[in-house]
A and B are shown apart, each in its own frame.
Chain A
Amino acid sequence: MIRVTCKYRFSASHRLHTAALSDQENRELYGKCDNPYGHGHNYEIAVSARGPLDPQSGRAVDPVALRRLVAEQVLQPFDHRNLNIEIAEFHDAVPTTENLAQEIFRRLRAHWKSAFPGSWPVLEKISIAETPRNIFEVSDFNGQA
């Protein structure tokens, strides 16, 4: 079994603010991430898939098929967007990188079979770096993203 990991990047803006709390409480909780005008990051995501070697290609994952899936489901919708305003899932949910990681995992899992119709490879985990110092990881270990 081999695990293959491919990295991709997108840039987007967000604001961390929840309607469940007062303005004062939001400021205390999220600090400068609550700036009403929003702010941006260069996100880097790493998608890991696992499978046996395909005898014909000597590969476990077709990187072109993976890139196409990630581009369609993540990079094209998210790159150079305001996550709060332009991504429906974040109209209510706060676009913390935790929630963003779960949303990316959900999207990849939901469309995985269209990119990889066979039993292999399987989606193992994704990680997302909001900055080079803040990194979040989601895997399917508990059956829910």
Chain B
Amino acid sequence: MLVTKRVEFSASHVCRNPSLSDRENQELFGAAANPHGHGHNYAIEVTMAGNPDPVTGMVIDLKKLKEVVHREVVEWYDHRFLNYEVRPFDRVIPTAENIAIDVWQRLEPHLTKDGGRLHAVRVYETPDLYVDYFGDPA
């Protein structure tokens, strides 16, 4: 059974590869390369897989899951400029793809103990663009 918790945060970012010229970055990323940065209302959907516990009837305690997601992700990301204020985005381009991988790496060590396992991380950059990551090597 899959159980999904959704959280939201707002942040700014710039998509720029420092090993490329300004012009190459502009061609590669378009408006997202604006060096001053721009922002999104992001949403993250964390999906856990498992069977309902025979005692509690739950795959995972959603209140605990929410606490972990807030503590490990939202409190770091929300209302920040990702490139300047949140590791690893000082050296990793904060595309939605890389954000999904970072969310997975932040959450996975905290979600192995009680019931269910992390199945997927979905990151919405806008309501019309989202990415899914399932934890395999990218």
A residues adjacent to B (C-beta < 8 A)? 1-8, 52-53, 56-60, 63-64
Contact = CB atoms under 8 A, between A and B. Distances in A.
Contact of A1 (B92, B127, B136): B136
Interface in B54-108: 92-98, 100-101
A59 B125 CA distance: 13
B129 A2 contact: no
Lowest 4 A-B CB distances belong to which pairs? A58-B93, A7-B128, A3-B132, A58-B95
Contact of B30 (A4, A60, A64): A64
Contacts of A6: 128-129
A52 B133 CA distance: 10
A2 B132 contact: yes
12 contacts: A2-B138, A3-B133, A4-B97, A4-B129, A56-B20, A57-B29, A58-B17, A58-B92, A58-B97, A58-B98, A59-B97, A60-B97
A105 B124 CA distance: 23
B133 A2 contact: yes
